[in-house]
Structure 1
Amino acid sequence: MAKPKGLEVLELASVEPVQLFDFQQQVLFSPAQRGEGFIKLAVTTGRKGAKSVAHSHPRDEVTLTLKGEALLRAGGETYHLREGSAVRLPPGLDHTVEVISDEWVVVAAYCDECSLCRGPDSPFPADGLKP
């Protein structure tokens, strides 16, 4: 039987990590890399004390903590994320994360063209969608 058009299967071990803030991120599928307007799927790992800067995304972000613990700060509140914690952040909500365990591993799906990734040469407008 032929593989359905567009179907892709990747092994996480085959994806080289890149630096994102204090974290290592393995991007499995990315619209910026693929030239399409879909979501990014990534596994991000951070060590104790790793922090992000405040940022937001033009579309929802969903995450699932696979290992460890972190503090999510959003909307003036602090949320303790543990293994099995799932989060949905609405568009435009500034947030930060700080790792409080020896290691934190999270899988995330979000718009690839967030405010941190968009630059003046980006082919994507501010709403994250291709023209």
Structure 2
Amino acid sequence: MSTQNPELVETDLVSPVQLYDFEQKTLFSPKERGEGFIKLSVTTGKKGARSVAHCHPRDEVTLTLSGEAVLRANGQEFYMKPGTALRVPPGCVHEVEVLSEEWTVVAAYCDECQLCRP
């Protein structure tokens, strides 16, 4: 039985950092905490914002909250709109481009988790 209490974070109080063409608010991060849980973030991009092609050592899962974007991987396009959940498998090289005026997504992945490094 754990004696640790749940943690609550108000997203409006988290300062965003720049990630590619996007602004990202990291809510929980193993890098900052020195613990082995996954990173959880809310990321927002304006129309035309793009990531570079990249991959993660473990799964990435996302849930689009607002707007529209396209994820490109393995010669295919996956369109994300509000309510769309997406899983990107480990090692899958992908990139994202925002199609609407603004796109907001919640993402969870393990890039900062020491236990998840290959």
CA distance in 2, matches of 1:38, 1:51: 27
Q: Show the counterpart of 1:21.
A: 20
**Would you identify which runs of 4 or more consecutive aligned residues in structure 1 move more than 4 Å?**
none
After superposition, what is the alpha-carbon deviation per residue over 1:57-79, rounded to whole angstroms, capped at 9, x for unaligned?
00100000000000100121011
1-side partners of 2:5 and 2:25: how far apart? 21
Q: Which runs of 5+ in 1 are unaligned?
A: 115-123
Partners of 1:30 and 1:112 within 8 A in 2: no
Contact 1:66/1:83, CA 8 A, preserved across alignment = yes
- CA distance in 1 between partners of 2:35 and 2:75 (Å): 34
**Sequence identity percentage:** 62
Residue-by-residue CA offset, 1:4-56 (whole Å, 9 max, x unaligned): 51410010011000000000000000000111121000000000000000011
Q: Could you say which residue in structure 2 is the equivalent of 1:101?
A: 100
Measured in 2, the distance between the counterparts of 1:21 and 1:15 equals 18
Pairing 1:22-61 to 2, within 5 Å after superposition: 22-61=21-60
| Higher RCO, Cα 8 Å, sep 6+ | 2
Root-mean-square deviation (CA, aligned residues, Å) is 1.6
Q: CA deviation at 1:113?
A: 2.7
* Secondary structure in 2 matching 1:33: helix
Q: Map of 1:112-123 to 2, 5 A cutoff?
A: 112-113=111-112
Is contact 1:59-1:92 (8 Å) kept? Answer: yes
**What is the number of residues matched between the two proteins?**
116
TM (norm. structure 2) is 0.92
TM-score by length of 1: 0.83
